[in-house]
Amino acid sequence: MASAAKAEQLDFAKTPINSKLSAQQKVRLLTEMVRIRRFETESLRQYQAKKMGGFLHLYNGQESVAVGCVSLMGDDDHVITAYRDHGHALAVGMTMNECMAELFGKVTGCSKGKGGSMHFFAPDKNYWGGHGIVAGQTPLGLGLAYALKYKGVKGAAMCFMGDGAVNQGCFYESLNMAALFDIPVIYIIENNGYSMGTSLARSSSFKSCLAERAEGFNIAWGQCNGTDIYEVRANVQTAIERAHNESKPTVLEIATYRYYGHSVADAKHTGGYRQKEEIEHYKQNHDPIQVFKRRLIEEGTLTEEKYEQLDEAAKAEAAAAAQFADESPIPSEESITQDVYFEVDRQTEAGRTGKHFFND
Amino acid sequence: MPLIEYRDALNQAFAEEMERDPNVVLMGEEVAEYDGAYKVTRGLWQRFGSKRVMDTPISEAGFIGMGIGASMLGIRPVMELMFWSFAAVAWDQIINNAAQVRYMSGGLINCPIVIRGPANGGTNVGATHSHNHENFLANIPGLKVVCPATAYDAKGLMKSAIRDNDPVMFMENTLLYGEKGEVPEEEYLIPLGRADVKREGTDISLIAHGRAALTALKAAELLAAEHNINAEVVDLRSIRPLDEEAILESVRKTHRAVYIEENKPFCGVGAQIASMLQEKAFDDLDAPVLRISSMDAPAIYSPELEKKQLPRPLDIVEKVLSIC
Ligand SMILES: Cc1ncc(C[n+]2csc(CCOP(=O)(O)OP(=O)(O)O)c2C)c(N)n1
Ligand SMILES: [Mg+2]
């Protein structure tokens, strides 16, 4: 078993997209995963210290998916995801400061404190959110990709979603149109085995896997394991090439796992709908950071000391972000009614005509 | 001035804006090869081709969401709902995405999309096809809502809606598509948020939106001919943004007001206006502000009865006489 798994790992390392990685790029991939984990762990600490309100959906365990996918993005590739969005945000290059400040509801947050944990955005980095309604982002991802095609740009939109999101109708409407109109969208199902407290088996009926449902739409689909970031990259690269060269959609399901509860308010996630042993099993055998770290150390790209350094740096960066967020001011009361209408914000002729707000 | 149908006025607006801006696209069920279920997009597919005028499958949530996503990247989609009633299927996309994405991104994103189609009862198609959603949608900060009553207003407002950088919910009316009105040959725009006094008067303000504004005009003629009452008719045209000043100005002159709409009464547009008037024109009012809405029950099919369910000129006359 162990050697078979190892042989498979080696295979993905040999795919062109991975074999050409420099030592520096490999360490960068690892660093990005570690940064996400440290950010999430720090945000949990801050949540427990009552520094933020609302929900907090942590990405720990799933880091290889966001980092692997985003690492393949070119200038004209775009990303949109659901509410478990911190990992994708950091992966596209948003700073820990703006993300943590958003969690704290501060004016220095990426959305000026108006979005919160589930609604991070950075259109300048081709990152279109952060969406709180399960599968609500799936038609939007289609629209982003449609816009690229309309403009004649060679790009793709990666639309991330959970295993629970596949049961929403608008996802299938989107698949149909993606195939019908040859739209370069890539639906990436991050299958972490659960939608809140409902296991995959209790939520979805399928033959071999969820992505296979794409077969009926005549859409290329695939399934892979998220433990090895090389495997993620190899599979996503195929989808990106299909989007760029053929303007065709793909549905890719990536097996992954979350270590914390659905959100921090989920006390039943150990010993309730899943057992502690299951979580431990993943941490021991499938942790994407540990697996990749071991590989890099074995091949001599990384040392234990260097890993400690990058881990410490990520921890310090997260702690500094928490301090930044803590010291940042809250948004002004006037800002409650700003950023609602473009025309009003810009005080254009349209924005100055008629009453837009009814507070008085 | 040429007399043209309301539907053709809209058609001209699309064609002109598509000529002007290559990012304007039309999408919806049957809008291209079939010329539109109500022929509003007639001839545009032949003229602009499949890239600019696109038939979609019957997937309101999917294609409205697709339009919203495309608008975030700078496309300016004009999306047809065959009936605004079907927006219920796309509610999440409109309310949670189009309306909120600018706010939740702290102003980094905007959605220059127009969602349009007929929103009216009165055609004997039963309750599922006869909804008026303007009050629901105007309730959502982030959305704009427009309800033109005439061909002239439809064209001018549609051109502004397409150029607007926020999501505009554009509500037409199947009973008006064939109505002719004067539309100038030269280009014009009507800003959102400006009401139109469609009849000047001194004794009472009949304030209305959509087809109800035309009903109010008919009532005003009856009031003048039979009751010596000179009614002013204020057509809001745009619900949000709202021309509050125009309403107040009229009521300060006439001291009486009736709101007429095809919306349902509970939390309808008229309720908002009545509340505003009692607050801001209390001392100017000589009588309570009254409202006439579509009768408060689902839209009935029975053709003879459905006529009675919507405001008719005589209903307005009767209300007016109760306070004049
Ligand atoms: C339309 C809608 N229904 C229900 C919810 C509540 N909800 C939030 S997340 C979630 C589970 C989704 O699970 P999955 O898609 O697997 O994503 P994961 O949380 O595992 O990342 C539910 C039911 C919601 N946000 N939106
Ligand atoms: Mg899940």
> Rounded CA gap, A330 and A341, in Å?
22
A4-329 has CATH 3.40.50.970 classification = yes
Indicate whether residue A114 lines ligand 1 (CB < 6 A).
Answer: no
Task: Compute the nearest-CA separation of A360 from chain B (Å).
Answer: 9
B188: in domain? no
Neighbours of A274 (CB within 10 A): 17
- Phi and psi for B255 in degrees, rounded to 5? 70, 10
**A161 near B CB under 8 A:** no
Residue B132 belongs to domain with CATH number: 3.40.50.970
Residues of B marked active site are found at 60, 129
From B182, B205, B226, give the residue that closes a domain.
Answer: B182
Q: Which atom of ligand 1 is nearest to the CA of A84?
A: 21
Indicate whether residue A56 lines ligand 1 (CB < 6 A).
Answer: no
The predicted model gives A45-66 an average pLDDT of 97
For A172, nearest residue in chain B (alpha carbons): B62
**A142 near B CB under 8 A:** yes
Indicate whether residue A164 lines ligand 1 (CB < 6 A).
Answer: yes
Mutation test of ligand 1: which of A57, A195, A260 has the most ligand atoms closer than 8 Å to its C-beta? A195
B190: in domain? no
Task: Tell how far the Cα of A230 is from the centroid of ligand 2, in angstroms.
Answer: 22
Residue B261 belongs to domain with CATH number: 3.40.50.920
> Within this chain, do residues B98 and B244 fall inside the same structural domain, yes or no?
no
pLDDT, tens only, A344-357: 999 999 999 999 99
CA angle B196, B201, B205 (to 5 degrees): 70
**A141 near B CB under 8 A:** yes
H helices present in A82-211, as ranges: 86-91, 96-103, 137-151, 169-180, 200-203
**A138 near B CB under 8 A:** yes
Is the pLDDT at A1 greater than 70? The verdict is: no
Task: Tell how far the Cα of A168 is from the centroid of ligand 1, in angstroms.
Answer: 10
Reported as a pLDDT band with limits 50, 70 and 90, residue A2 is very low
Mutation test of ligand 1: which of A131, A134, A194 has the most ligand atoms closer than 8 Å to its C-beta? A134
**A343 near B CB under 8 A:** yes
User: For residue A103, with 0-12 CB atoms within 10 Å meaning exposed, 13-18 middle and 19 or more buried, which class applies?
Assistant: buried
CB A329 within 8 Å of CB B131? no
Restricting to A residues 163-182, those with a Cβ less than 8 Å away from any Cβ of B are: 169-170, 173-174, 176-177, 180-181
The predicted model gives A199-206 an average pLDDT of 96
> Rounded CA gap, A62 and A254, in Å?
10
> Within this chain, do residues B299 and B259 fall inside the same structural domain, yes or no?
yes
Taking all residues of chain A, what is their mean pLDDT, rounded to a whole number?
A: 96
The beta-carbon neighbor of B61 closest among A173, A180, A343 is A173
> Within this chain, do residues B168 and B216 fall inside the same structural domain, yes or no?
no
Q: Collapse the DSSP code of B56 into the 3-class scheme (helix H, G, I; strand E, B; otherwise coil) and give the result.
A: coil
Kindly list the domain boundaries of chain A, sorted by start residue: 4-329
The dihedral through the CA atoms of A118, A148, A238, A72 has a sign that is negative
Indicate whether residue A184 lines ligand 1 (CB < 6 A).
Answer: no
Restricting to B residues 232-261, those with a Cβ less than 8 Å away from any Cβ of A are: 238, 240-244
Which residue's CA is the nearest one to ligand 1's atom 13? A195
CB B134 within 8 Å of CB B263? yes
pTM > 0.90: yes
> Rounded CA gap, A302 and A311, in Å?
13
pLDDT, tens only, A208-220: 999 999 999 999 9
Instruction: Note the pLDDT of residue A266.
Output: 82
Task: Tell how far the Cα of A69 is from the centroid of ligand 1, in angstroms.
Answer: 22
| Domain interval for residue B272 | 196-323
> Within this chain, do residues B155 and B240 fall inside the same structural domain, yes or no?
no
> Rounded CA gap, A61 and A66, in Å?
11
CB B177 within 8 Å of CB B191? no
> Within this chain, do residues B154 and B68 fall inside the same structural domain, yes or no?
yes
> Within this chain, do residues B152 and B228 fall inside the same structural domain, yes or no?
no
Task: Tell how far the Cα of A224 is from the centroid of ligand 1, in angstroms.
Answer: 22
Task: Tell how far the Cα of A9 is from the centroid of ligand 1, in angstroms.
Answer: 32
Is the pLDDT at A10 greater than 80? The verdict is: no
> Rounded CA gap, B81 and B86, in Å?
7
> Rounded CA gap, B18 and B159, in Å?
10
> Within this chain, do residues B46 and B80 fall inside the same structural domain, yes or no?
yes
**B126 near A CB under 8 A:** no
- Beta-bridged to residue A251, according to DSSP, are A187, A221
> Rounded CA gap, B89 and B59, in Å?
8
B114: in domain? yes
Is the pLDDT at A30 greater than 70? The verdict is: yes
**What residues have a C-beta under 5 A from ligand 2, the ion?**
A 162-163, 192, 195
DSSP E strands, chain B: 3-5, 24-28, 53-55, 76-80, 114-118, 144-146, 168-172, 180-182, 196-199, 204-208, 231-235, 238-240, 257-260, 290-292
> Rounded CA gap, A350 and B40, in Å?
26
For B240, nearest residue in chain A (alpha carbons): A356
For A126, nearest residue in chain B (alpha carbons): B73
Is the pLDDT at A3 greater than 70? The verdict is: no
Q: Which residues of A touch B101 (CB under 8 A)?
A: 121, 129
pLDDT, tens only, A223-272: 999 999 999 999 999 999 999 999 999 999 999 999 999 998 887 778 88
The ipTM is 0.96
> Rounded CA gap, A359 and B250, in Å?
22
pLDDT, tens only, A138-172: 999 999 999 999 999 999 999 999 999 999 999 99
Cβ within 8 Å, pair A355-B63: no
> Within this chain, do residues B201 and B293 fall inside the same structural domain, yes or no?
yes
B262: in domain? yes
Instruction: Note the pLDDT of residue B91.
Output: 98
> Within this chain, do residues B178 and B273 fall inside the same structural domain, yes or no?
no
> Rounded CA gap, B257 and A64, in Å?
64
Which residue's CA is the nearest one to ligand 1's atom 17? A162
Instruction: Note the pLDDT of residue A238.
Output: 98
Q: Which atom of ligand 1 is nearest to the CA of A196?
A: 11
Is the pLDDT at A6 greater than 60? The verdict is: no
Give the total number of structural domains in chain B. Answer: 2
Show the low-confidence residues of chain B (pLDDT under 70).
none
Restricting to B residues 52-111, those with a Cβ less than 8 Å away from any Cβ of A are: 54, 56-57, 59, 61-75, 92-93, 96-97, 101-110
pLDDT, tens only, B237-276: 999 999 999 999 999 999 999 999 999 999 999 999 999 9
